[in-house]
Structure formats: C-alpha cells, structure tokens
Amino acid sequence: MARIMAIDMGRRRCGIAVTDPAQIVAGGLDTVGTGDLAAYVAAYVAREPVELIVVGEPRDMQGRPSDSTRYIEPALARLRKAVPTVPVVRYDERFTSVLAHRAMLDGGLGRMQRRDKALVDKISATIILNDYLESKKTL
C-alpha cells in the first residue's frame, strides 16, 4: 500500500503528516514554507509511494470556506501541478489548531515549545490526517 499525506496549509508555513505504508498510523513529518511546498511534496512522492494527499480546508462556523481559503488556493494549484498523478482532496480542518495546542498541553510541552508555530502546524496536519482516516472507517 501507499501512504496518505495530509497538509495543514497556511499563508507562510505548511505542516505535513503521513501515514505508514499500511495506512494505520499517522505521524508528523515536517513543516515547510508554503512557497516550497510543491517542490517538497514532489520530492517526497518521488521517494515514497503516496496514494492520496489530504489538504485541510479552512471553514467558518457555518461550514462555509473561510477567508483564509483565498490565500491557499494558489499554493494548492502549484501542488496539484507538481504531483498530477496523486489525487488531492480537501478535508474540513476546523479547530485543528485548537486541538493541536490542547495536545501540546496534555503532552506536557513547555510554554516555549507551545509557541513553536511550526510544531503546531505539524501536529495540526497529523490531526487532519487522523480525522480523515477515522472518517473512512465509518463509511
């Protein structure tokens, strides 16, 4: 089996998480600048088989796309162009940053570690991926 990758896309940085080849366990992989995302993912896909890319879709409380969506669309287009053979799906990412901060608190990370936005993005990507995997189990 191939891996599933998840991306928590932001204006400046993107958190990236991947599953194991059996698609059972999700773990944080890296954080890269949004401008470098397409090249990073293309290089990763060249090394490791990736079946699907799940990109967090920012939504407001009513479920509509949030204002942030317009900032990530160009990066998403570059990503699709860089890896045209890998399907890219959008997945609701509401509250992932809040959940990431909660996970950091529950994990006993200190104040300075919790301020590390790159770590928050990587944990958010892992949460998106875990949520996506769980949603597929119930279908």
Q: The domain spanning residue 126 has which CATH number?
A: 3.30.420.140
pLDDT of residue 69: 73
pTM here is 0.83
What is the band of 113 on the pLDDT scale with cuts at 50, 70, 90? low
- Domain assignment of residue 45, given as a range: 3-137
Cβ within 8 Å of residue 59, ≥6 positions away: 65, 66, 92, 93, 94
What is the band of 1 on the pLDDT scale with cuts at 50, 70, 90? confident
Number of domains in the chain: 1
The tens digit of pLDDT for each residue in 22-81 reads: 999 999 999 999 999 999 999 999 999 999 999 988 766 666 766 677 788 889 999 999
